[in-house]
Structure 1
Amino acid sequence: MALNAKTLPDDEFFFGHKACAGCGGSLAVRAALKVLGPNAVAALPAGCMSAVGFNFPQLSFANNAMITPFAATASVLTGIEAGLRAQGIKPDDCTVVGFAGDGGTADIGLQALSGAIDRNDDVLYICYDNEAYMNTGIQKSSLTPFGAKTTTTPAGRNAHGCLTQKKNVFEIVAAHGIPYAATASVGYLPDFLRKLERARDIRGTRFIHVIAPCPTGWGCPEADMVDVARDIVDCGLWYLAEYEGPQLSGVPGGQFKLSRNPREFDSVEAYLRRQGRFRALTNDEIAQVEAGRDAKWEQIRRDWTA
């Protein structure tokens, strides 16, 4: 039976946490553990979800869960999986899963993640992407988009926020020939749930990169979080896709598939203007963002949908 909002189990494996109101990351973790079940073993580096989920004497995880060094999420997953295997615990009975933010994945943790993929360790790595180091005060990460205001990329009369482009971790991971990778958004929860189910049932290294807005850092109302997570997809600045490596697809180099291929996009300007972090962007800069979107989608449709 396909999982959706009506068929998700009632059990809660991530509850009582101290996340900010409207936190997209907490929704991503909660949904993932519902799919992976009570036997999943989780590892989390220093970041929002470890900060709000491990508060002595309260632990917000019903599953076995532990905090890892910031750079070592994938390495710790490797060790957990090896330990479970040594005890005779089968992968079908227990998913080893990591939850790390954008900084802990694309910056500090990328080397360990690359190594795990190279070894094809039987682990699932989930990056909840709120596009900055939110836990430590909203500093820029390499997944912070162009124009976004952070404490290390200020925006005002003489500065216009982040001057670099968002790193494409999904395609970097796919370039390793990973068995399975996907992008998702908490604004399209059924798609995220389906990809979690798919990843749960595959052996080897799997990776899901899910957009999880932070109202505090993005400068939008808490109640708008899910809508904003949907808007970034609808305006074309985030695509929903899957990659199957040669092991699964039988295609040399693997195969990319779009999960959603809209005929037309909603307004990029409307998406950006509803967030305080993009307030300093000029009309010309917004036009540059839109042009970058169009160029990316032209490449995607040419290379992935032929």
Structure 2
Amino acid sequence: MKIPEEEYLLKCTAACAGCSDSLTLRYVLKAAGPDTVLVVPACCTSVIQGAYPYTAFNLPVVNIAFAAAAACASGMSEALRALGRKTHVIVYAGDGGTLDIGIQSLSGAFERGTDFLYICYDNEAYGNTGMQRSGGTPLGARTTTTPMGKRHQKKDIDAIVAAHDPPFMATACPAYPRDLFQKVRNALTFRGPSFIHVLAPCPPGWRFPPEKSVEMGKLAVKTGMWVLYERRHGKLSLSAPSKTALKNPAPLEEYLSPQGRFEGMDGADIEALKRHISENLLKLASEEAKG
């Protein structure tokens, strides 16, 4: 599999150093190609594209209100299909605009069978406005609105999307770029709604050095904190790195300790996270085995 050399995310974005959001988007657009339109709600991406009249995006972008990305994409997809065009319509939204504020329009678009790809890049907080807690923030993580650590587990948006029975959904991480690239390619071969949930480690928000973004992504997968898989017409397949994690997971502390957001995390919360990870891995492995 050869990743194209063409670039649709140009140099000199307004992204932070080590930004996994922009790294993710780079591979997403390489997989989608030039006949693509992005729908971007309020999030980090709406900032890193640059200030008018300049932009780092080398294709059409629609900036839309926080709650309306999937609704906008629904109308856009219907209009393009009515014109006989196969243009890829991709929503590219953060966890705040997906798990929280935009969940109603996402659900509506999936219920209607909209022909589009929805990608949630998940940095596990409202990164654009100062790292407030979101539904994607994991248990124990310190944010500006959970200074003593979040008291709830991360919302399982993947189970919510799976309940809509889309033809294709997947998880990914830019620390595994070929896996991400191929999953976007796979998603775009299906008619109807597809969903990809991408973990996007955030250096300033998670409080780790920017040169460690890829390392943090790999550790998330190796510890089982983030599981990579595809689900096609309801049939789940674990990706190779997560099959390894299922058999021999790395210690969770290797993932937590480099991140300032987990500093001083209570031992009981760490044990609760470990149980949650183990239960989730076993659940997904059991689903894969059932076929």
Fold in common (TM above 0.5): yes
**Structure 2: 5+ residue runs without aligned partners?**
none
Map 1:211-226; keep pairs closer than 5 Å.
Answer: 211-226=199-214
TM-score (norm 1): 0.90
1:258 deviates by 1.2
2:279 maps to 1:283: no
Secondary structure at 1:288's aligned position in 2? helix
Per-residue CA distance 1:5-28 (angstroms, 9 max, x = gap) = xx3222211123100000001111
Distance 1:127 1:54 in 2: 20
- Residue identity matched to 1:276: G
Q: Match of 1:55, SS?
A: coil
Deviation by residue 1:29-51 (Cα, 9 ceiling, x = unmatched): 11100110111011100100011
1:187 aligns with 2:187: no
Counterpart of 2:114 in structure 1 is 121
What is the identity, as a one-letter code, of the residue corresponding to 1:269? E
TM-score when scaled to structure 2?
A: 0.95
- Structure 1 counterpart of 2:212, one-letter code: D
> Which residue of 278, 284, 291 corresponds with 1:300?
284
Deviating more after overlay: 9-18 vs 41-50 = 9-18
What are structure 1's unaligned runs of at least 5 residues? Answer: 156-160, 246-253
Q: 1:202 aligns with which of 170, 190, 201?
A: 190
CA contact (8 A) 2:20 2:174 kept: yes
CA deviation map 1:178-234 (0-9, x unaligned): 111001111111111110110111111000000011100001010000110110000
> Which consecutive segments of 4 or more residues in structure 1 shift more than 4 A?
none
After superposition, give the CA deviation of every residue in 1:145-201 in whole Å (9 maximum; x if it has no partner): 00101000003xxxxx11110111112101111111001111111111110110111
The answer on 1:104 being equivalent to 2:97 is yes
CA distance in 1, matches of 2:229, 2:281: 12
- Contact 2:221/2:228, CA 8 A, preserved across alignment: yes
C-alpha displacement at 1:291, in angstroms?
1.8
Letter in 2 for 1:176: H
Q: What CA distance in whole angstroms lies between the structure 2 residues aligned with 1:218 and 1:13?
A: 27
User: The residue matched to 1:8 in structure 2 has which SS?
Assistant: coil
Matched residue, 1:9: 4
Structural RMSD (CA)? 1.2
Q: Is the 8 A contact 2:43 2:94 kept in 1?
A: yes
